[in-house]
Amino acid sequence: MRIVNRVFELREAIKTWRSNGESVAFVPTMGNLHAGHLQLVSTAKKKADRVVVSIFVNPTQFGAGEDFETYPRTEREDQEKLAAENADLLFQPSVADIYTSDAKTIVTVTGLSDLYCGASRPGHFTGVATVVSKLFNIVQPDIALFGLKDFQQLTVIKTMVRDLNIPVEITGVDTVRESSGLAMSSRNGYLTDAEKKVAPKLYYSLCAARDTILTGNRNYADIEQQAMQFLQQAGFQPDYFSVCRSSDLKKADAEDMDLVLLVAAKLGKTRLIDNIYFSR
């Protein structure tokens, strides 16, 4: 596996692949890789001739008081994991390689970026959309893969690609879970031993709500309220629990068939998100 830090090095490598008629898959990450990330790489290997992975902790998607400085950075371990997965190239740029000091351009997907996590983390999805659009422009992949754990992020990116006519296929890959049901996340490492025993109840709340809906209950406001109460009683500080249309994340009504349940809650100092999508 080749490791490069500069944009021109990456572009030279991809130019060589393109001249050989090879397709390129891209997996953007912020590092501290776990089995969920490696599943993205494994899936990418099946969909393209070459796989590029980026590790870049993007400062513009962290708000004031969030964990940018303390976000786990495990470069050596990440490199070893990616080499074992047979990734072709790892792109590890610096902040200066991605953002000029006087950068004036941002990308915002209006509406979607202000909902749910966007409401709780103002500017977060603008930071995500901006850096992903820059990475797409740098790598120019045929396909890019993202985890479905952050369903809202995936929806924002799909909408951006559609609206800006970016020629890349976006593929979502199912959430990888621990044996307890807890969705794998780099931030799970912040949880204490006691909190790790409580954290799986986030996924349980989603499963319970889904099962209630599948029995025919369409009182979504009541389902949301019960889930919020359950999480609070379990020791979480719930941010939101929402029954949405999976297509555009608007509030679901009784006629909608394809649904996604979105949840975010803090447990101690750790903010956790999860979702379940299904058709009724």
Catalytic residue among 37, 50, 124, 210: 37
Shared domain for 45 and 119, answered yes or no, is: yes
Q: What is the pLDDT of residue 59?
A: 95
Stated pTM of the model: 0.95
CATH number at residue 208: 3.30.1300.10
User: Given strand 169-173, what is the order of strands in its sheet?
Assistant: 2-4, 89-91, 50-55, 24-29, 143-147, 169-173
What are the pLDDT tens digits along the chain (280 aa)? 999 999 999 999 999 999 999 999 999 999 999 999 999 999 999 999 999 999 999 999 998 889 899 898 999 999 999 999 999 999 999 999 999 999 999 999 999 999 999 999 999 999 999 999 999 999 999 999 999 999 999 999 999 999 999 999 999 999 999 999 999 999 999 999 999 999 999 999 999 999 999 999 999 999 999 999 999 999 999 999 999 999 999 999 999 999 999 999 999 999 999 999 999 9
Q: Is residue 11 part of a domain?
A: yes
Measured CA to CA, the distance from residue 48 to residue 55 in angstroms comes to: 20
The contacts found for 40-47 with CB under 8 angstroms, 24 or more apart, are 40/145, 40/146, 40/147, 40/173, 41/82, 41/85, 41/87, 42/85, 43/145, 43/171, 43/173, 44/143, 44/145, 45/85, 45/86, 47/143, 47/145, 47/171
Query: Which run of H or E residues covers position 163?
Result: helix 151-163
Q: What's the domain range around 249?
A: 186-279
Please tell me the chain's helix, strand, coil percentages from 3-state DSSP, rounded to the nearest 5: 40, 20, 35
Is 34 among the residues known to form the active site? Answer: no
Shared domain for 158 and 202, answered yes or no, is: no
Shared domain for 162 and 219, answered yes or no, is: no
